[in-house]
Chains A and B, each alone.
Chain A
Amino acid sequence: MTQATTATRPPATPATGRRRLADREGPLASLFLLPAVVYVVALVGVPFVLAIGFAFSDVTAGDPSYDWAGLDAYRRVFDDPVFWQALRNTLVFTGVSMVLIVVFGKVLANILIADFRGKWLVRFLVLLPWTTPVALSTVSWLWLLDSIFSPIDWLLRQVGLLEGNMYWLGRPSLATASVIAVHVWRLVPLAAVIIMAGLIAIPRDIDEAARVDGAGFWRRMFEVTIPLTMPLIAVAALFGAIFTFTDMAVVYVLTRGGPTNSTQVLASWAFVRGIEGGDVAQGAAIALFLFPLLLAAAVLILRAVRRMQVM
């Protein structure tokens, strides 16, 4: 009786049964990747192609008709000394910020991995600059560095180091320093978290072996810790560089490139020319100038990450 029923019942998991969509990895993968692909194409690919198109045209805000103009836009860009100043500023800002970001990021990472009371609060506070939107936090810096009401000036006056005002954003050298300071302030948390990941991954007994071997703090840092976290320090440095390099919000909000273009960077200059000045072709040409440099940075990041995996 029971035998009869089992015989007529179909097998519990039929080998011939059709596979559901969820079982088929190929189509499923395409399906899940689709939004990302659409997103990248629409928001990165299209603007990029458009920018290339515009850079070789004579499109302006007043005359949006497309005509091929060859390298005309580039000629105009290169003839303008402000472009060269912006390029130099971009490289200086990026270089100096990158070094400072890595140094402070390393220091902060050491603080973050230390074990002390209330470290969760410190960690939270440290990560705050990275989590607030750039434009928003830069506005508060605008107030901190205000030519008349700057609290920093007030503090310096109270301590007796200063009479009158510093005019942080009004003098070329101070404005440069201010822009770099804001970049560093904003990107150090990211670098710290990246470097912290590297520090945590160092086995504890390697550090202890170095202690017993007679190495002091600095020797352990330069001969053991830093070499072992080098791939992640490189990643942190390059992230810092890319974010500084491509950013226009900080410059735009703090100084608008001033005084007299002394803090102008490529991104803000492209915006000034292309959007505010209406010369779309020139704006696109300037913006595209960022591309090869970014590409080189991205390649370096990826290579650093690969080396890390090998180790």
Chain B
Amino acid sequence: MTRIVEVRGLRKTFDGRHQQVEALRGIDLATEEGEYLVLLGPSGCGKTTLLRTIAGLEQPTEGDVLIGGNVVNELPPRARQVAMVFQSYALYPHKTVLANIVFPLKAERMDRDAREKKARWAADLLGIGRLLDRKPRELSGGERQRVALARAMVREPAVFLLDEPLSNLDAKLRASARDELKRFQQRIGTTTIYVTHDQAEAMGLGDRIAVMDAGQVRQLGRPRDVYDDPADTFVATFIGSPPMNLVRRDGMLVGFRPEHLLPAEVVGAGAVKIPFVVDRIEYLSGDRHVYGTITTLGEATRVIARLPSTVTTPLTAGETADFAVATDRLRFFDPETGDRMDAVPLEWSQP
């Protein structure tokens, strides 16, 4: 399997006016052929910087960027065979949609007929064929995004770099654009690195997700792995909404997802029983989000339980209910480093 894009020991330090900003602190990452790799992380964690370094718009302070197996640190962006879609789309405002799309082909000195044909092919693929004569300012956000995508794809790059391309769209359009983006990538099969801070986007689009924080990759894995087996407490609480509950208990943190804290009667055998003091209940799209406190598992901690609509156990605020978590759903973390620990049997310590 060829590694289209790979970064090794990548560091990037910006020399600010007053202090240095370490935007990337040693990143190792490699894409697989044709995969959709999502960089997910909170604002300011270095996602854009990583993408820009791969594109050649920033020079790494340390480490290497490889494209197609060759170190490209010294190559300018135009020699790197990458196509980038910017968060702002960065369409050329003075050019028509057609001129925007053919621009990269013009730079490649493709002849006029061939490039127009290719631009029309891309435009039709993305459903913007009738907008070719318009200027970018005469387009809606979703149309602009498609023009930016068309401009990126006509070059047939080795890799697409997409920096939060959906963040300018409203929630409804975002959902349909996400679906469209995924189908589009599956059709053309180009390796894609996609930046987002929206976990729903990451879970929905990514073949693999790299969860980043403070300039480091915390975990790299399939959406399932990242969700079910978080590598540390950062990933555990960053992904999932509501996030994973963490309870401190002598020498470790015990974590479980809100949807796994359920009334004892619906959890089968092999579970840890937990009395749950219910405090407040919210109804959110059919689910019940139950806020409350547990005291027996470890230190008294406020936690959230998410009951699907199929669980109809009556609950009242202010009362204590019998809840439980299946033991195979429990995750253990080191309270000092936050790193994942091996599972520990808990049953015997039940009161």
Contacts and interface: CB of A to CB of B under 8 A. Distances in A.
Contacts of A213: 78, 83, 103-104, 107, 151, 155
Name B's interface SS: loop
Interface string A184-220: 0000000000000000000101101111111110010
Interface stretch (B19-27, B90-98, B260-268): B90-98
Contacts of B103: 210, 213, 215, 223
B107 A203 contact: no
A211 B76 contact: yes
B78 A209 contact: no
Contacts of A152: none
Contact of B55 (A212, A219, A224, A228): A212
A223 to B, nearest CB: 7
B57 A208 contact: yes
A172 to B, nearest CB: 43
A311 interface: yes
A227 interface: yes
Interface string B114-128: 000000000000000
Name A's interface SS: helix
B86 A208 contact: yes
Contacts of A210: 92, 103
B63 interface: no
Contact-size category for A: 10 to 19
B84 interface: yes
Given A208-B57, A219-B107, A214 B94 contact: no
Contact of A228 (B78, B82, B87, B94): B94
A248 B303 CA distance: 84
Contacts of A216: 78, 107
B107 A212 contact: no
Contacts of A205: 86-88, 90
Contact of B57 (A206, A212, A215, A224): A212
Interface core residue of A214, A215, A223 (most chain B CB under 10 Å): A214
A214 B90 contact: no
B259 to A, nearest CB: 40
Interface of A: 203, 205-206, 208-216, 219, 223-224, 227-228, 311
Given A208-B86, A214-B78, 10 more contacts: A205-B90, A206-B91, A208-B77, A211-B57, A213-B151, A213-B155, A214-B107, A216-B107, A219-B107, A228-B93
19 contacts: A203-B90, A205-B88, A206-B93, A208-B86, A208-B90, A209-B92, A210-B103, A211-B76, A211-B78, A212-B57, A212-B77, A213-B103, A214-B108, A215-B103, A215-B107, A216-B78, A219-B107, A223-B92, A227-B94
Lowest 9 A-B CB distances belong to which pairs?
Answer: A214-B107, A209-B90, A213-B104, A214-B78, A205-B90, A211-B77, A212-B84, A212-B77, A227-B94
